[in-house]
Amino acid sequence: MSLLENATAPTTGDFDSAAFYAKLDESKLAARALATANTAAKDAALEAIAQDLLAHVDEIVAANADDLARGQADGLSTGLLDRLTLTPQRVQGLADAVLDIVAIADPVGESVRGKTLPNGVHLEQVRVPFGVVGAIYEARPNVTVDIAALALKSGNAAVLRGGSAAESTNRVLVAVIQGALARTGLPGTSVHTIDEFGRRGAAELMRARGWVDLLVPRGSAQLIQTVVTESTVPVIETGAGVVHIVLDASAREDWAVDIVRNAKVQRPSVCNAVETLLVHADAAARLLPPVLGALRESGVTIRADERARAVFPDAVPATDEDWATEYMSLDLAVRVVDDLDEAIDHIRRYSTSHTESIITNDLGNADRFLAEVDSAVVMVNASTRFTDGGEFGFGAEVGISTQKLHARGPMGLPELTSTKWLVRGSGQIRR
C-alpha cells in the first residue's frame, strides 16, 4: 500500500499533466472562496456533509466492498483490510466526527497579536488559512473525511491522495462531500481527490509549489519518509513514536507500575504508547519485578538487556534493534542505566522525539529531564498516553508533529492556519 509498492500497481495510463493541474487550479480558486467564508457557512457545509454521508451509506459501503474484494485478491494483511473496511456503523462514526468539528472554534481571523506604533500605524497579526492543503495517506478512508472536514473548518481547500487500495471508497466519499458543499453554497471543488492520477500524481503533488501550501502525510513511517524527502512543498511530519519512560532511583513504585502499564497496555497500537523502559541501576531490583510482573499479567512480552534480566529473568534477551523499534504491540524493551546521563543519552540516540516521561521524586532530576530531553512532549510522573489533541483539549487532532518547524506535538485546528499582518495607517511614510 505504500507509495513505493505502488510502483508495481497498474496505472491508468499516461499521466495527464493538464488534467492534474486543472484540478489544482480549481483547488486554488476554491481556496480563495473558503478564505473569506464565515464560520456559519463552513459549519453549515460540515453539517450537510455529515447528513449526506448517512444518506449515501449504501453507496459508500458498496464501493468499499469493491476495494475490499480487490484488497483480498491482492493479499492485503488482515490489519490493512480492517483499516480499509467501512461498515454502516463506521460511516455513522465518520458523520459524528464531522459534527464534532462543527463544535470546535474556527481559528480563522483570530487576532494573534497587535499594537499601535508611535506614528499611529496599527499592526495586527491574524490567523488565515494556508490555502490548499494536500494529504497523502494509505488505505484509510476515514482520513478522507477527517482531513476534508478539518481543512474546511480552517478555511482550506483539500487535495487528497488516498492510495489505490481505497480508490473506489474515496471516490464516493469525495463525491458525497462535493455534493454537500455545492448544496450549501461553498465550491464543490474545495475537496478533490487525485487518486486517478496514480503514483505519478502523488509525486507531482509533492512538488506542486505554488499550488499546494501544505502537505500532511499520514500512515507508515516509510510513506512519511518518502513524502518528507521528496517534497518541495512544505510538509508537516506526523511521526512515529519510539517513546521512553525512565524510572529514576527515587521513583514511587505505585506510580511506576500504574504509569508504565497504562502507557504500554491501554492502547499499544498508537504512537504515544511506551516502547522502551529505562531503569536506574539503583532501582532495578526494587522496581522491575513489580512493574514488569504487572505488564506480564497484561500479556506484554518483555525484551530486556542482561542487567534487567538479572532481576527479572522471565524476559527475552534484547538486541540493539529493539532500542530503535516502534513495536505498536504488546512488546516492551527494557534496559538498566547507570544514571540519568545514560538515560538521556539513550533517548537522544534512539528516540523519535515524540514523547518521553520520567518517574521520579527527585526535583533536580525532574528539572534536568524537562530541560535536556529534546522531544515534542516531555513529562514528569505522567503517562505518555496523554500526548493527544483530545487530552490536551484541542477538540480535534490533525496529528502529532514530531518536527520543530511550525507545529510540535499535538496539532489542533490553529496549526492548519498561517498568519498575515494587517497594517492600517493614515498616510504614514517611513522616516
Residues in contact with its own copies by CB under 8 A are 32, 35-36, 115, 117, 121, 123, 125, 128, 130-131, 209, 213-214, 228-229, 232, 234, 236, 252, 254-255, 258-259, 261-263, 266, 357, 366, 370-372, 374-383, 385-388, 391-393, 403-406, 408-410, 418-430
Of 156 and 164, which has the nearer Cβ to its own copies? 156
From CA 380, how far away is CA 251, in angstroms rounded?
11
Tell me whether residue 82 is exposed, middle or buried, using C-beta atoms within 10 angstroms of its C-beta: 0 to 12, 13 to 18, 19 or more: exposed
Q: Whose Cβ is closer to its own copies: residue 305's or residue 415's?
A: 415
With cell 487535495, the residue in question is 159
* C-alpha span between 88 and 61 (Å, rounded): 7
- 388 φ/ψ angles, rounded to the nearest 5 degrees: -170, 135
Nearest approach, Cβ of 28 to its own copies (angstroms)? 9
Nearest to 43 by CA among 419, 413, 398: 413
Q: How far is the CB of 308 from its own copies (least distance, A)?
A: 23
Nearer to its own copies by Cβ, of 48 and 283: the residue is 283
CB of 78 to its own copies, least distance (A): 27
CB nearer its own copies, residue 10 or residue 427: 427
Contact 180, 45 (CB under 8 A): yes
Dist. CA 77–CA 82, nearest whole Å: 9
Rounded to a whole number of angstroms, the minimum distance from the CB of residue 149 to its own copies is 21
CA–CA separation, 356 vs 377, rounded Å? Answer: 7
Please state the closest distance from residue 42 (CB atom) to its own copies, in A. 15
Residue 158 CB, shortest distance to its own copies, in Å, is 16
Cβ-proximal residues to 41 (8 Å cutoff; 6+ apart), any chain:
184, 185, 186
Indicate the residue among 197 and 394 with the shorter CB distance to its own copies. 394
Closer residue to its own copies (CB): 258 or 342: 258
